[in-house]
Chains A and B, each alone.
Chain A
Amino acid sequence: MSSETIGIAGPKPAGAVVWEAMAAFAWRFGAITVPLVAWEAAARLGWINVFLFPAPSHILATLWTQSGPHGNPPWAIPMHVARSLVRLLSGLALAVIVGTVLGVAIGMTRWARAIFTPLISALMPVPTLAWTPILLLVIGIDDRTTIIVVFLAAVFEVIYTIVAGIEMMNVKLFWVARSMGATRLQIFARVIIPGILPYLITGTRLGTGYAWRALIAAEMLAASSYGLGFMIYDASEYMSMDVIYGGVLLIAVLGYLLENTLIGRLEAATIDKWGVQGER
């Protein structure tokens, strides 16, 4: 479409294209840096309470110290990040596996649809964090609690997009495979899984966003030593505002990278190769 529009309007000079890209970047860069610079200036000039709002440079310096051997505890930031990521990835892996199996069952069989659809409709509106007190009582302060929270936060989105993906598939693809004598297992592996893969990745991307938010919150309630949520919660006990802001910054940056860069790229590549748009 875009190439057509350009074709009608006549090709733009290369300089103009570069200029537009630079302007777009400048706007985005400015939208983040201008408030930060203002904050920095206000803190240094003593216009704001630096205990509640420490200067961004101070926050970054704290992050830097905490990331190294002189942190408290040493290498604190990498340890917190690593622990959070381990919990996130374990919970996500569980959500993708269970979500795929349940989603395919619901999409393909009448009995699974009858059993699971009402259950999922009832459970989906419950905020994931509402499960944390129950998990704490049943399991205790443990990685299993936070992993289950991540699982619950992501699994519904995975199921939902997979069911939608199966409904979008042409039923005649199954007919073709059955004419070739494909077994149920072969249909699952060769038709359903590749057919829903773009949807699975979309579901995982959306689920990752929810799971990351839920994980940080759950870590405030159910982590005893490490994790970004725990780090923020712990810092508030000691009123270390710089650590709290640093934690928020890390959560934002990591969340963005996970959802948009890592899985976003995978999603774009799959949609591109599958050519799903044209062939359904």
Chain B
Amino acid sequence: MKPKIVAKGIQKYFGNVLAMKDISCTIHEREFVAIIGPSGCGKSTFLYLIAGFEKPSGGDLSINGHPVGGPGRDRGVVFQEFVLFPWLTVLRNITLGLDIKGVGRAEAEEKARKWIRLTGLSGFEDAYPSTLSGGMKQRVAIARALTYDPEVLLLDEPFGALDVQTKNYMIRDMQDLWLEADRTIVMITHSVSEAVLMADRVLVLSSRPSEVIADVSIKLPHPREHRDPALRRYEDEITAVLSAEVDKAMSLERQSAIGRS
């Protein structure tokens, strides 16, 4: 497998606070990698660094061997809070990437059709985002990111803003979509079950200042079944690492609070 995204010793400061100590990892082509970690560990920030929205304070980050300069068409992003254009219909939101590129309307719609079908949005093309439920909005955001055909898909807690029922349904419903998309996918999540069900590989980040503390490959075929005992073993393994980290972070926080008082 060819390396697609290579991070070497990434550091990130916010003001004087060191948020990332040393994030190093290699994400390969067509790999689905989930990144998980305690809240506040900078998972989303790492995704924004890959997307080019923010710049690392130190270290090297490259895609296809080229250092990341800024955002670009080779990376599509899906945010937790959907971020649709409220003045555009579902169809126009989805074709926006191609419209910006100057692709003709008919061709853009033709390309969009496939992703509209796979995300289950058929019949909603002319609706405005404000009329859709959260789950439907996220389907639009996913279809929009895939339609302009980026090599890398970046998902920032894509199901984080949805209620549990919608989220579980979406995760099951979209398993085929990721197979069909067949590209490098990086997903930020705080749910271990979500990560093991969807991803080929799970990276666990430590609490702040963060580094990679576990790298687990999920060697199970897709689509996966929640009740599969093999999947459960992976889930337990990652949960153990994560809870130990959370315990450590909490006790450190408590100690420093006591020390201060």
| A16-49 CB contacts (< 8 Å) to partner B | none
B37 within 8 Å of A (CB atoms):
no
B129→A275 contact, CB < 8 A:
yes
Q: Is A186 an interface residue (CB 8 A)?
A: yes
Q: Is B85 an interface residue (CB 8 A)?
A: yes
Alpha-carbon distance between A273 and B129 when the two chains are bound, in angstroms: 11
Asked whether A275 lies within 8 Å of B86 as measured between CB atoms, the reply is: yes
Chain B neighbourhood of A175, CB < 8 A: 51, 53, 71, 77, 83
Contact (Cβ within 8 A) B87 A181:
no
Cα distance A279–B96 in the bound complex, in angstroms = 18
Q: How far is the CB of B213 from the nearest CB of chain A, in Å?
A: 29
Indicate whether A109 reaches chain B with its CB closer than 8 angstroms: no
Q: Which B residue sits closest to A181, measured CB to CB?
A: B73
Q: Inside 8 A of A52's CB, which chain B residues have their CB? A: none
Which residues of A194-221 have CB atoms within 8 Å of chain B's CB atoms? 194-195, 197
> Which residue from chain B places its CB closest to the CB of A182 in the assembled complex?
B100
In A161-215, the 8 Å CB interface with B consists of: 170, 172-173, 175-182, 186, 190-191, 194-195, 197
CB neighbors of A among B128-153 (8 A): 128-131, 144, 148, 150
Q: How far is the CB of B205 from chain A (nearest CB, A)?
A: 22
Instruction: Report the minimum CB–CB distance from B143 to chain A (whole Å).
Output: 13
B12 contacts chain A at the CB level, 8 A cutoff: no
Instruction: Check if B101 is an interface residue, CB within 8 A of chain A.
Output: yes
Shortest C-beta distance, A94 to chain B (Å), equals 26
Q: How far is the CA of A180 from the CA of B75 in the complex (A)?
A: 8
State whether A177 touches B86 (Cβ < 8 A).
no
User: Are A172 and B87 neighbours in the complex by a CB distance under 8 Å?
Assistant: no
Cβ–Cβ < 8 Å partners of B70 in chain A: 178
> CB-defined interface of B51-95 with A at 8 Å, one 1/0 digit per residue?
101000000000000000011110111010101111100000000
Residues A180 and B85 in contact, CB atoms below 8 Å apart:
no
A182 to B85, alpha carbons, bound, how many Å? 14
Is B100 touching A181 in the complex (CB atoms < 8 A)? yes
Answer yes or no: A15 CB below 8 A from chain B CBs.
no
A175, A278, A280: which has the most chain B beta carbons within 10 Å?
A175
Task: Contacts A175-B77, A180-B96, A190-B100 given; indicate if A276 touches B86 (C-beta within 8 A).
Answer: yes
Chain B hits for A278, CB < 8 A: 86, 130
| Given A275-B128, A279-B129, A279-B130, A179 contacting B87 (CB threshold 8 A) | no
Partner of A273, one of B76, B83, B87: B87
Pairwise interchain contact A172-B100, C-beta atoms closer than 8 A: no
CA distance A277 to B128 in the complex (A): 13
Is A274 in the interface zone, CB < 8 Å from B? yes
When the two chains form the complex, which single residue of B76, B81, B83, B130 contacts A275, counting CB atoms closer than 8 Å? Answer: B130
CB neighbours (8 Å) of B131 from chain A are 275
* Extra contacts besides A175-B53, A181-B101 (13): CB < 8 Å: A170-B83, A172-B83, A173-B85, A175-B51, A176-B79, A177-B100, A179-B73, A179-B75, A181-B72, A181-B100, A190-B100, A275-B130, A276-B86
21 CB < 8 A contacts A-B: A173-B83, A175-B71, A176-B77, A176-B83, A176-B85, A178-B71, A179-B51, A179-B72, A179-B73, A179-B76, A179-B77, A179-B150, A180-B97, A180-B100, A186-B100, A190-B96, A190-B99, A195-B87, A277-B130, A279-B86, A280-B86
The 6 closest A-B pairs by CB, nearest first: A275-B130, A279-B86, A180-B97, A178-B71, A181-B73, A278-B130
